[in-house]
A = this chain, B = another copy of it.
Amino acid sequence: MPPKNSVYIATSIDGYIADKDGGIDWLDMVSIPEGEDMGYYAFMENIDALVMGRNSFETVLGFDVDWPYTKPVFVLSNSLSVIPKSHREKAFPVSGELTEVLHMIHNRGFLRLYIDGGVTIQSFLSEDLIDELILTTIPIILGGGIPLFGDLRQRLAFEHIGTKVFADQLIQRHYRRVRQ
C-alpha cells in the first residue's frame, strides 16, 4: 500500500478554518442528525496516524473532552516538552524536514496519514505532499480568520472523487491529487 496524506477539514464558504478570534462555534451552526458523523469514522478507520502542528495539538488538549484519537498523533515540534506526561503514549513529537519526518513515520509502519491544522496543511501543500482533500463547507462567510490555504509556488491539480450533502446544508467535496 502506498503512503497517503489526507486532509479532512471543515471551512467557511470563504475558506477559513477558524474565525478572527480563533473561534469555531460556527462549525455547529447547522444541526445534523444524531449519529451522523459526515464520514469521519470511516475516514479515521482508514488512517494509520495523525500529523499536526503544536498549535493544533495544544488546542485539542485544551478541549474539555477525553483524548479523541485512537491512532498515534505525531506533533511537529522541536521540543519534546510539548507532550504532557499524560499523553506520552498517544502523541509523539517529530521535527525536521517534512520529507524526513514522513520517512521516519512510514518506517514505523504508519503509511496513511491524517494531516491536520492550518499551518501543517499549508506546509504539506507547499511541498506537494497532500494526496487527498475532504473539504466540508459550512454555509457561512466569516470575512476573516485563519485561512485553510496559503501561498504556493506552484499550482496543484486535483480530481473530484465525489460530493456529499449532509443535513441539506453541509457540502463535503472529496478531491484526489493528480500528478502528471
Contact = CB atoms under 8 A, between A and B. Distances in A.
Interface of A: 13-15, 19, 26, 29, 125, 133, 135, 137, 139-144, 148-160, 163, 165, 168-171, 173, 175
Contacts of A159: 139, 169
A114 to B, nearest CB: 19
B155 A149 contact: no
Given A160-B169, A165-B160, A144 B152 contact: yes
Given A139-B160, A140-B158, 12 more contacts: A13-B133, A14-B15, A19-B155, A26-B155, A125-B141, A139-B158, A141-B158, A143-B150, A143-B152, A143-B156, A160-B165, A160-B168
Nearest to A161: B168
Nearest to A166: B160
A149 B141 contact: yes
A168 B161 CA distance: 8
29 contacts: A13-B133, A13-B149, A13-B175, A14-B148, A15-B15, A26-B155, A125-B141, A137-B173, A139-B157, A139-B159, A139-B160, A140-B155, A140-B156, A140-B157, A141-B152, A141-B155, A141-B156, A142-B152, A142-B155, A143-B149, A143-B150, A143-B151, A143-B156, A144-B151, A160-B165, A160-B168, A163-B165, A171-B171, A171-B173
A155 to B, nearest CB: 6
Contacts of A171: 160, 163, 171, 173
Contacts of A157: 29, 139-140
